[in-house]
Amino acid sequence: MSALSESIDTLRTNERQWRAFTSTSRRCAVMAPPGSGKTKLLAARAAHDLATAITPPQGAACITLTNPAADELRRRMEALGARRGSVVFVGTVHAFVLNCVVTPFAAAAGLSTGHRTVIASDAQRGSIMRDCIAAVYPDTEDVRAVPSTIARFRKMLATDAEWELAGPRIRSVAELYEQRLAEEQLTDFDGLVALAVRLVEEHEFVRRTLTTRYSRVYVDEYQDLAPGLDRLVQALCFDDTLDCRLFAVGDPDQAVYGWTGSRPELLDELTSRPGVDVVRLTVNYRCREEIVRRSERLLTVDRELTGNRPGGEVRAELAPQGFADQIDHTIAQVRRLASAVPLERIAVLGSTHALCSEAATGLRAAGIPARVKDADYRSTPATMLVERLAAWAVLGRESSGQQLGRLLAAWRALLGPLADRPNQRSLVACLLDQDPDRTAVSFIDQVRALRLDTAMSTGGRPDDVAALAALRATYSGPAAPVELVDLANRSSGRGRVQIMTTLACKGLEFDAVVILGADQGRIPSWLARSSMELAEERRKFYVAVTRARDSLLITYSGFTVNPYGRRFYDGPSPFLHQMNLIPQPYS
Ligand SMILES: Nc1ncnc2c1ncn2[C@@H]1O[C@H](COP(=O)(O)OP(=O)(O)OP(=O)(O)O)[C@@H](O)[C@H]1O
């Protein structure tokens, strides 16, 4: 039986999943809690449609928010045998906007000069923004909030009336900033999204060509789409004169990207539009029942969710000596679990990168191998591919879980026309090289020299260029891991406890989870003041809690310490009371 048939058969066992899988509506929205099989359903539905209902040259676009989530979706679809090719797009919304909307249509619609779109690097954006602020504000004024305010308004595609609310000086800086980018033939992601929305909303030929090519659109994590991206989906999938179907999945209780302008209500708005078939899933297949029961206490509305696996352990432990003490509790927990659970199936989550690296130092000092996600360099398509190539080269197909054909397809997708046949042959030769002296850094250099660097810098991908440089630096510093196997293990995380922020754990699952630092001021963050910000902190914690399949430990001290050593005795996180893990405080 094929992997796709097997996956479809498991969906058959759940009446609601099956209803969504077989929905014949042109627009289907699946609202579902963590672990209820949203991504599984979306991958199976897309793979099945590609095999049975979509005939080339028509294709499909499968869109999600972040690079790791896109990588996971691509992996799941490939495992189901979904065909890959020029008419199937699987990637992030920003990659869709750049490669499928702006690059092919902006010049034809008269909205660009026809030059290649170059995305400004973080450094370029920062420097231009500083210049523009200096041109509008006097030196004496506190301008720290200006860039984030402008970013928020640009992400929400603010109307004239909304810009007026922001004030004339903010608007002037925003206009100057966009003008400077244009003069230097640069753009940024917010500019790209705004341009794509204009192209799709104002030009019928763009809508028609796009929907002829991508006759089905699949969106994972819909609740996290920023408003501009929601407008793109509306323009393509809610125009009855076009033949474009939508299959969207999401969970408003997992909306954690408020700073991008996304709102949890977007998914509710989608489901209340006419002609949308709404399916609500209620079984959490991931977490054992005790974890489901405790996690649901964090929500304001009872969703009547059930777990599908009995048992489970949820504990909160007081570490009275402070954060270092919490790390000791974590070490004890990892040691307790280690005989039964592979280390890579254990996650340690902290609210900030700083807490995560402190935890990694503590675990490593105790002799426990640990990997901090995104600590040294960003997970971009280029760095993730280099890690996967190293895994295949060192561990082989069986142990690495990587297939050469898929790696080459990913290589071609990344390099475009630069990945000609001789280039691919050189890559395979590099992967087959058995030189025992090869280090991680020499492998990285070899792969980058195979036109990877050139493709990234000429292809307008400054994030990948910066991330590749940081990847090299990670393996070339004086105390850096030098072995190629260290790089190879990075993609699977094999043999290492996985440490990451509560934001970065989204979409992942582990047998056991430890959440560190559940103290007021950290969870929720002291920076969250408004009710909207506090609600997002609660959702972030809910996402973290629901990553655990079997056991969950949450540590707290009842106080936090700021960088100057001052203690704040604000008590444990209120979420621990909410989950009924510690008694309610006296009011
Ligand atoms: N019908 C089913 N039978 C058995 N297992 C299932 C079923 N549906 C989903 N699962 C399993 O449940 C787990 C969670 O699935 P998946 O990652 O797709 O959930 P999700 O809803 O996308 O989660 P999240 O929103 O938390 O990221 C996976 O291990 C998946 O294989």
pLDDT in tens, 422-458: 999 999 999 999 888 889 999 999 999 999 999 998 8
Reading the block at residue 252, the tokens are 């408003």
Query: What radius of gyration do the chain's Cα atoms show?
Result: 24
- Comparing 39-48, 187-196, 284-293, which segment has the lowest mean pLDDT? 187-196
- 32 is an annotated ligand-binding site residue: yes
- Which contacts of 355-361 are long-range, i.e. CB under 8 A and separated by 24 or more positions? 355/323, 355/516, 355/517, 355/522, 356/499, 356/500, 356/501, 358/323, 358/327, 359/327, 359/330, 359/499, 359/516, 360/499
- How far from the centroid of its chain's Cα atoms is residue 387's Cα? 18
- Can you tell me the mean pLDDT for 22-37? 95
Residue 291 CA, ligand 1 centroid: distance in Å:
15
pLDDT > 90: percent of the chain: 61
Residue 53 lies in a domain: yes
Residue 586 has pLDDT above 70, yes or no: no
Do 393 and 503 lie in one domain? The reply is no
Residue 249 lies in a domain: yes
Write down which residue in 252, 281, 310 finishes a domain.
Answer: 281
CA distance 466 to 456: 10
Query: Which of 508, 415, 512 lies closest to 73, judged by CA?
Result: 508
Residue 482 lies in a domain: yes
Read off the pLDDT band of 139 (50, 70, 90).
confident
Residue 93 has pLDDT above 80, yes or no: yes
User: What value does the mean pLDDT of the chain take?
Assistant: 90
Do 469 and 506 lie in one domain? The reply is no
Question: Mind listing the pLDDT tens digit for each residue in 212-231?
Answer: 999 999 999 999 888 888 89
Q: Is the CB of 39 under 6 A from ligand 1?
A: yes
Do 390 and 486 lie in one domain? The reply is yes
Residue 516 · residue 330 · CB < 8 Å: yes
Residue 255 CA, ligand 1 centroid: distance in Å:
18
Provide the β-strand partners of residue 28.
Answer: 247, 277
Task: For residue 576, give the H/E element and its range.
Answer: helix 574-578
Q: Is the CB of 13 under 6 A from ligand 1?
A: yes
Q: What residue's CA is closest to ligand 1, atom 25?
A: 34
Position in ligand 1 atom list of the atom nearest CA 34: 26
- 92 is an annotated ligand-binding site residue: no
Q: Is the CB of 554 under 6 A from ligand 1?
A: no
**Containing domain of residue 391, as a range?**
381-492
Q: What is the number of domains present in the chain?
A: 4
* Strand order, beta sheet including 214-219: 88-92, 59-64, 214-219, 245-250, 27-31, 276-280
Do 217 and 149 lie in one domain? The reply is no
CA distance 94 to 112: 18
Query: Which of 261, 263, 277, 190 lies closest to 223, judged by CA?
Result: 263
What pLDDT is stored for residue 372 in this prediction? 87
- 540 is an annotated ligand-binding site residue: no
Read off the pLDDT band of 263 (50, 70, 90).
confident
Query: Which of 547, 518, 536 lies closest to 292, judged by CA?
Result: 547
- 275 is an annotated ligand-binding site residue: no
Residue 275 lies in a domain: yes
Task: Give backbone dihedrals phi and psi of 483, rounded to 5 degrees, phi first.
Answer: -65, 140
Residue 46 · residue 74 · CB < 8 Å: no
Residue 271 · residue 238 · CB < 8 Å: no
Query: Which of 105, 106, 70 lies closest to 89, judged by CA?
Result: 70
**Exposure of 507 by Cβ count < 10 A (0-12 exposed, 13-18 middle, 19+ buried)?**
buried
Write down which residue in 477, 492, 507 finishes a domain.
Answer: 492
Q: What residue's CA is closest to ligand 1, atom 26?
A: 34
Q: CATH number of the domain at 345, please.
A: 3.40.50.300
Q: What residue's CA is closest to ligand 1, atom 10?
A: 37
Q: Tell me the angle at which helices 189-202 and 227-237 cross, rounded to the nearest 10 degrees.
A: 20
Read off the pLDDT band of 481 (50, 70, 90).
low
- Can you tell me the mean pLDDT for 500-524? 94
Name the pairing type of β-strands 214-219 and 245-250: parallel
Residue 585 lies in a domain: no
Residues near 571 by beta carbon (within 8 Å), at least 6 away in sequence: 519, 520, 558, 559, 585
Do 357 and 418 lie in one domain? The reply is no
Do 92 and 224 lie in one domain? The reply is yes
Do 275 and 344 lie in one domain? The reply is no
Q: Is pLDDT larger for residue 66 or for residue 500?
A: 500
Residue 562 · residue 568 · CB < 8 Å: yes
Provide the β-strand partners of residue 554.
Answer: 316, 515
Read off the pLDDT band of 377 (50, 70, 90).
confident
Write down which residue in 434, 463, 492 finishes a domain.
Answer: 492
Residue 252 CA, ligand 1 centroid: distance in Å:
17
DSSP classification of residue 218: E
CA distance 292 to 288: 6
What pLDDT is stored for residue 116 in this prediction? 63
Do 516 and 487 lie in one domain? The reply is no
- 546 is an annotated ligand-binding site residue: no
**Exposure of 508 by Cβ count < 10 A (0-12 exposed, 13-18 middle, 19+ buried)?**
middle
Q: What residue's CA is closest to ligand 1, atom 24?
A: 34
Q: Is the CB of 34 under 6 A from ligand 1?
A: yes
CA distance 33 to 250: 8
- Comparing 55-59, 82-86, 262-266, 483-487, which segment has the lowest mean pLDDT? 82-86
Do 91 and 202 lie in one domain? The reply is yes
Q: Tell me the angle at which helices 122-136 and 146-155 cross, rounded to the nearest 10 degrees.
A: 110
Do 450 and 465 lie in one domain? The reply is yes
Do 519 and 569 lie in one domain? The reply is yes
Reading the block at residue 230, the tokens are 């929601």
Substitution site in 14, 42, 45, 286 for ligand 1 pocket (most atoms within 8 Å of beta carbon)? 286
Is the peptide bond between 524 and the residue preceding it cis, with omega within 30 degrees of 0?
yes
Position in ligand 1 atom list of the atom nearest CA 11: 1
What pLDDT is stored for residue 429 in this prediction? 95
- Comparing 44-48, 103-107, 139-143, 404-408, which segment has the lowest mean pLDDT? 103-107
Read off the pLDDT band of 133 (50, 70, 90).
very high
Position in ligand 1 atom list of the atom nearest CA 254: 25
Residue 350 · residue 330 · CB < 8 Å: no
Residue 116 lies in a domain: no
CA distance 434 to 217: 43
Residues near 468 by beta carbon (within 8 Å), at least 6 away in sequence: 377, 382, 383, 386, 444, 448, 452, 453, 456
- 33 is an annotated ligand-binding site residue: yes
DSSP classification of residue 583: P
Residues near 95 by beta carbon (within 8 Å), at least 6 away in sequence: 70, 89
Residue 28 lies in a domain: yes
Do 500 and 572 lie in one domain? The reply is yes
Residue 117 lies in a domain: no
